[in-house]
Amino acid sequence: MTAPRSGVFGVTVGFDVEQAVLVVRGEVDALTAPTLGATMGVLVDQAHPNLTLDLAALEFMDAAGLRVIADVAARLATSNRILTIRATPANIRRILDITGVGARVRFEDPDPNVAALGTEQLSGVRPSAVVSRPTELSADLARVGSKPNDSVVDAALRLVTVLAGSTVEGADGVSVTLERRGQLATVASSNDTVLRMDDHQYATGEGPCLAAAAQGHWFYIESLAEEDRWPAFVPRAIEEGIASILSTPLMSAARPVGALNIYSNSERAFGPRQQELAAMFASQASGILIDAGADVIDEALGKRILDALLAREVIARAEGVLMARKHVTAEDAAATLHRSARTAEVAVLQHAAAIVASACDVPGPDA
């Protein structure tokens, strides 16, 4: 390696009243992105209401850095927070915009050169001529950007609680607990006792509902009088006149996101038949959440974008190798890559990976 460049990576974190500001210096690449990711991760976990990323001193960012931004934006979105990016370089802004990540972050003081540079990079495509008609994808992204209308989801979940309450024999009350903005809350309940039962669990930090929502499998208390798990919660439940509880997790993409809770004033109220019905209603409630575009979709789409960014990186590197080997422009290198992949009858990504690997085989100056 030659003398260290001016762009040594560094992150400075500053705090003011309501926000944490990360100032990133130098180059964010595969080597330094994990540090940036870890730093941002801590701030996300600490639940600062606002997180700002200042890129004024950024010199370079590759796909690894973009992944960190996409990941942080997605994580903040799950708790209804938003990432602010200050002084975004035009090329970074462009990638964030076309991946849809841009719709999930807030850009501060947008650079007036952004549009011009963006157009230049498109080389031939004139964004101004684009009709503004929503596509399937942008609809998808819009759903990710703005959370589903809570009240519609809540109404559907309330219907599930009513149905469960009237279908499951022995049920004296039903509630649905859901993880929202990073914490569990009751979003639908059939009566006040049930609402208080849920509140007792949130207050004591324990109980079958919390356990089901955290661990993703069901919990059944046959008899509260004989229950020795959750010592803080159980006495409060008995005081409410409840004798048995069945909590079934709500799953979204194999991840527990809440629980359907059925309470009874009788002991051993729920046999195998009732448990089966509870599972059915829980799966219905899960389906409503999925249809409503809960966080899962957010994650799935985020994953696709991250995979795509990685693939682009490999292809760009292969094109770089071809440019150096054949002394051609980027576009000619891309054309060469496309043709040779077609001739070899392999996917372009696979072909690109082979080219990058072949370049690595050649011992370099610092090998």
Partner 1 sequence: MAETLDVLEQARRDVGLSVADLWMRYFTLGGMSTALEMEAILYGALLANDHDRDVIAVALNERFAELGGDHPVPYAGDDPDDR
**Residues binding partner 1 (CB under 8 A):** 94, 97-99, 121-127, 129-133, 135-138, 140, 304, 307-308, 311-312, 315-316, 319, 331, 334-335, 338-339, 341-342, 345, 347-349
Reference 200, options 191, 190, 210; nearest CA is 210
Using alpha carbons only, what angle is made at residue 23 by residues 22 and 25, rounded to the nearest 5 degrees? 140
Q: Minimum distance from CB of 190 to partner 1 (Å)?
A: 40
CB atoms within 10 A of CB 147: 18
Q: Minimum distance from CB of 348 to partner 1 (Å)?
A: 6
Q: Minimum distance from CB of 184 to partner 1 (Å)?
A: 33
Q: Minimum distance from CB of 317 to partner 1 (Å)?
A: 11
Q: Minimum distance from CB of 205 to partner 1 (Å)?
A: 42
Using alpha carbons only, what angle is made at residue 202 by residues 20 and 257, rounded to the nearest 5 degrees? 70
Q: Minimum distance from CB of 78 to partner 1 (Å)?
A: 22
- Is the Cβ of residue 163 or residue 328 nearer to partner 1 in the bound state? 328
- Is the Cβ of residue 13 or residue 98 nearer to partner 1 in the bound state? 98
- Is the Cβ of residue 140 or residue 199 nearer to partner 1 in the bound state? 140
Reference 333, options 361, 352, 313; nearest CA is 352
User: What's the CA gap between 222 and 243, in Å, rounded?
Assistant: 8
Q: Minimum distance from CB of 180 to partner 1 (Å)?
A: 28
- Is the Cβ of residue 106 or residue 304 nearer to partner 1 in the bound state? 304
- Is the Cβ of residue 142 or residue 214 nearer to partner 1 in the bound state? 142
Contact 247, 260 (CB under 8 A): yes
CA distances from 117 to 55, 69, 329, 331 (A): 17, 21, 19, 18
User: What's the CA gap between 18 and 50, in Å, rounded?
Assistant: 6
CA distances from 11 to 2, 3, 14, 159, 167 (A): 23, 21, 10, 49, 57
- Is the Cβ of residue 36 or residue 318 nearer to partner 1 in the bound state? 318
- Is the Cβ of residue 112 or residue 127 nearer to partner 1 in the bound state? 127
Whether the CA torsion 220, 224, 225, 231 is positive or negative: it is: positive
- Is the Cβ of residue 73 or residue 213 nearer to partner 1 in the bound state? 73
Q: Minimum distance from CB of 274 to partner 1 (Å)?
A: 42
Contact 52, 106 (CB under 8 A): no
